[in-house]
Structure 1
Amino acid sequence: MSDSWAAVATVKAPVEEVLSFAAWHLELGAARLHIYLDDPEDPAYPILKAHPKIRAMQCDDRYWRRVARDGRPDKHQMRQTLNASHCYNAKNRHDWLAHIDVDEFLLPDRPVAEILAALPPDVLSARMRPMEVLARPDRPEEQGPDAEGSDTEAPVHLRAFSLPLAQRHAQTERIYPEFGAFLNGGMLSHVAGKLFVRRGLPDVRFRIHRVLSAGEADPGQQELPEIPVAHFHATSWADWQAHYRFRLDRGAYRAELKPPRRADAGSVNLHTLLSTLEDSEGDPGLRRFFDEVCADTPALRDRLAAEGLLREVTMDFAALRARHFPDVGA
């Protein structure tokens, strides 16, 4: 016996990345993908629309007049949560709905539908914790022997983290000697993860990492360790730099967020840490942070492995795109 599942995402990314996201989750057995295109003119739209298991929505002015009282929200986080809520309440017909981002990929240890079907009926939301992908180094001397070959041939390395907080903080400081005291599990984006939500809950309102149903937060929640989420937060130094300013101003490093180590006296958030590094040292300071925390180096892999927190997976996106979108590029 298994449960059907769907996923919803608001996307704004290059076509190839959108198709990789879709192909990965179709391969995992998603009965439906609800993809909301933040750019209504996104060139991925006709490709997605043609697939029988994908429902693509162009988020144009007409759409936003129907969904939001004041039209299109300025903050992308609000657009994401409104779209997920719209999907759950108006469009989803499957047993479970996951709200994830275009740079997040489920990594189940067995079929997703099987895992969800095994959950007790009183579990109404199931939390998937993230693992961040380590960034491929661009300095030849940092690349280990397994870095040879194409992106589809080389393994993807990820950092996990421990749930018990004291253990997590101790491990973080051992793994990241200079910056660990400012980090929560070494994660730059979030540790909260994302949710699967069971069908049939009343008045569902998604948040980025939570869900409300009739005002109750995360009803019937259970951890779902069988399905971690691979988060491609930074794939290279150039990629991290390209997203850095937006994240500092409006994203994962914005000023109003609480410090990752909020219980520690003198702890600062990533906005303050990174801004201070940039103001005092410029790009070399940011690069030092990136090299210790993000870069997929043998030294970091060894430290993660010593703590039991290194994961490795092969993700052949090119092959999956060819399988699920065979006409693209033909």
Structure 2
Amino acid sequence: MLTETPSWAVVATVDEPPALLQAFVAWHLSLGAAQVFLYFDGPTAAGTVDFTHLPQVTVVACDAAHWDRFGKPRPHRHEIRQVRNAQDAYQRTAADWILHCDADEYLRAAMPVADVLAGVEAETECFILGVAERVHPMGKIGAELFDGAFRRPFQGPAKRGTAVFGADFKMTNRGLAGHAQGKAFVRTGRDLNMSIHRPRQPKSAQEVVSTRATNEVLELLHFEGLTPHHWFYKLSRMIRALNDHDGMPPSDHRRRQAEALMAAPDMAESLYHRLKSVDAPTIKSLVERGLWDDRAFDPAPVVTRYFAGQVADASPQAIDGWVEVNKTHVTGYLHK
């Protein structure tokens, strides 16, 4: 076991509203991140938030010059761009560990993150974090962007999951509308290949030595769809990528979500509530299984600390306004 206190970094490829970027950076800096890497998938958006006063933050505009450094053109698939950027940060960081996640994912720690990582055995290269997804109890969407509670992946056969969650369980990944795999801290200096959820060894015959965090100590909170409109935009973007053969094949639950949205685009908000609003009997079942967490999450105080005088509007209305500006190139695919 390592006794010294390790440093850690976070990397994300981003195309998100300014308020979310500020929250992502401020929250992880407040937890002790030594570095935060932001790779702007839309390179012209790299200047929408001022990070110059934060030396821990590295902003990379993913323009032609950026991709030229890899010796290959810009990948068509978003997931490949994410992985290459994560690998770039893995090679650049001076931190002992790096977490590859998205800007709508936030660590929740019961103790200093560095202390948790210090307890990981030296031979362990991958520290896996479970995920809890934000939902709305009784269908009530709060006035604040990060309001709500969290549900964890269902453990057990799909038949039992359907009995708990109802017919829409088939549109989820073990009860979550997003991913249930979680993400991972990866130890640097081990010649690993970064990926979306888990790292890989350069030689496929080798295995990455991993261990898993407990939810009580360290967990990843996923705000999959900040507002119904934001969720609609994200799913529409995935549909566009699929129509253009510009993305990885979707998982079964994502495909079913996409099919439901394409079949009835005017019912997008209703679909959001079917997947993300939790009634009292379901909450009771989740509580009994240890899959429910109703502790509040509020990054606003740390955003104010790190971005004093320039805090972006984090209201749901502002997020929806950002979507309106950015959505025009995707919604047409719902009517094909």
TM-score for the superposition, normalised by structure 1: 0.81
- C-alpha change, 1:181 and 1:112, in structure 2 (3 Å) is same
Match of 2:161 among 172, 189, 194: 172
Q: Which residue number corresponds to residue 42 of structure 1?
A: 45
How far the C-alpha of 1:158 sits from its partner, in A, is 0.7
Residue 222 of structure 1 corresponds to 211
Which of these residues, 271, 285, 289, is aligned with residue 255 of structure 2? 271
Once the two structures are superposed, what CA deviation does each residue of 1:15-55 show, in whole Å capped at 9, x if it has no partner? 11101000010011101111112222225466123312111
Q: Is 28-37 or 234-243 further displaced after alignment?
A: 234-243
The amino acid that maps onto 1:71 is P
1:316 aligns with 2:269: no
Equivalent residue letter for 2:275? V
Supply the distance in 2 between the matched residues of 1:297 and 1:250 (Cα, whole angstroms).
Answer: 33
Match of 1:32 in 2: 35
Q: Is the 8 A contact 1:23 1:321 kept in 2?
A: yes
8 A contact 1:135–1:235 mirrored in 2: no
Summarize the alignment of residues 51-200 of structure 1 with structure 2, pairs less than 5 Å apart.
Answer: 51-67=54-70, 69-89=71-91, 91-135=92-136, 142-143=139-140, 150-151=143-144, 156-162=148-154, 164=155, 167=156, 169=158, 172-200=161-189
The structure-2 alpha-carbon separation of the partners of 1:184 and 1:45, relative to structure 1 and needing over 3 Å to count, comes to: closer
- CA spacing shift, 1:52–1:255, aligned 2, 3 Å: closer
Helix, strand or coil for the counterpart of 1:133?
Answer: strand
Aligned-residue identity in percent: 24
Change (3 A) 1:297 1:21: farther
What residue in structure 1 maps to residue 241 of structure 2?
250
Structure 2 SS opposite 1:250: helix
Secondary structure of the corresponding residue to residue 129 of structure 1? strand
Paired residues of 1:49 and 1:56 also in contact (CA < 8 A): no
Deviation of 1:99 after TM superposition, in Å, equals: 0.5
CA-CA distance at 1:185 after TM superposition: 1.8
Using the TM superposition, give the Cα deviation of residue 193 of structure 1 relative to its aligned residue in structure 2, in angstroms.
1.4
Residues 104 and 231, structure 1, Cα contact 8 Å, conserved in 2: yes
Letter in structure 1 aligned against 2:187: R
Distance in 2 between residues matched to 1:130 and 1:215, nearest whole Å? 28
Aligned match of 1:265: none
| Letter in structure 2 aligned against 1:88 | Y
CA distance in 2, matches of 1:2, 1:296: 40
> How far apart, CA to CA, are the structure 2 residues paired with 1:183 and 1:127?
21
Deviation of 1:174 (Å): 3.0
Match of 2:13 in 1: 10
Cα distance in 2 for residues equivalent to 1:8 and 1:273? 28
Q: Residue 206 of structure 1 corresponds to which residue in structure 2?
A: 194
How far 1:170 moved relative to its partner? 5.2
Q: Which runs of 5+ in 1 are unaligned?
A: 260-268
CA distance in 1, matches of 2:157, 2:47: 40
Q: Quick check: 1:135–1:236 contact (8 Å CA) kept in 2? A: no
Task: Please report the RMSD computed on the Cα atoms of aligned residues, expressed in angstroms.
Answer: 2.8
Report the Cα offset of residue 14 of structure 1. Answer: 1.2
CA distance in 1, matches of 2:137, 2:13: 26
Q: Give yes or no for contact 1:172–1:184 (8 Å, CA) kept in 2.
A: no
Name the structure 2 match of 1:23: 26
Equivalent pairs, count: 302
